[in-house]
Structure 1
Amino acid sequence: MTRLRPPPVSLSKEAASTWKRITADYEIEDEAGILLLTTGLEAFDRMRQCQAAIKRDGPQVLDRFGYLKAHPLLPAERGARTQMLAAFKALHLDIEPLHARPGRPAGS
């Protein structure tokens, strides 16, 4: 068994924990894979930061005229999620459980 790389120090505790699980489960050792995983988990951290601010402030905020508008971090959250999923997809990680058969699950 090869020695696993430690997570980058720039990652949050949650992302670092995910790094350890993914590198162990999928044996990611090549430079391209490490770069993709790092990019995906940095995007994960950005997504979590945006989610925390949106949770704190609410999905709508007042603009300078006193009118409600969508929280300005909503697009950043969506973009970070998209980046994260794209990186995981490029790594061919199973981010959804496989279904026994095609179509919607029974009872849906």
Structure 2
Amino acid sequence: MKKPPPHLGTYGKALYSGLIADFGIDDSAGLALATMAAECLDRLRDAQALIEKHGMLVSTDGGGLKTNGAVAVEHNSHNRMLAALRALNVDLEPLRDRPGRPSGADWKGRTK
């Protein structure tokens, strides 16, 4: 199995390794897309840590509030990661034991 690029963080390395192992990615385009998805996940997690630390809104010099810049980074990283996963054509949907919509029994106990 191909090792993750050394610049990836913990989350990125885990995603990269999982993609390579689970989907048998070994072509250069696939490896590049897996790397991109992993980089985006690392960036997303870093942004989430900053949002957790500083909040969704931060104070301005004038005493007002504005959106923390990490919110946009989180959003963009999430979208780019999903785009890379789509380009890899990996199936992220949970498998069902039969085709079609879930039966009414699958919704039993669901709260409104």
| Shorter-chain TM-score above 0.5 | yes
> In angstroms, what is the RMSD of aligned CA positions?
1.7
Asked whether 1:68 is paired with 2:65, we answer yes
Asked whether 1:22 is paired with 2:29, we answer no
1:102 is matched with: 101
Amino acid at match of 1:102: R
Runs of 4+ in 1 over 6 A off after TM superposition: none
TM-score, normalised to structure 1's length?
0.86
Q: Deviations along 1:60-108, whole A, 9 cap, x unmatched? A: 11011111121121111100000000000111112232455337x7236
Amino acid at match of 2:15: T
Unaligned runs of 5+ in 2: none
In the alignment, the residues of structure 1 paired with residue 29 and residue 49 of structure 2 have an alpha-carbon distance, to the nearest angstrom, of 30
- Structure possessing the higher radius of gyration over alpha carbons: 2
TM-score, normalised to structure 2's length?
0.83
Residue of structure 2 aligned with 1:79, choices 76, 79, 94:
76
In the alignment, the residues of structure 2 paired with residue 24 and residue 94 of structure 1 have an alpha-carbon distance, to the nearest angstrom, of 14
Unaligned runs of 5+ in 1: none
1:59 is matched with: 56
Q: CA deviation at 1:28?
A: 0.1
In the alignment, the residues of structure 2 paired with residue 74 and residue 8 of structure 1 have an alpha-carbon distance, to the nearest angstrom, of 26
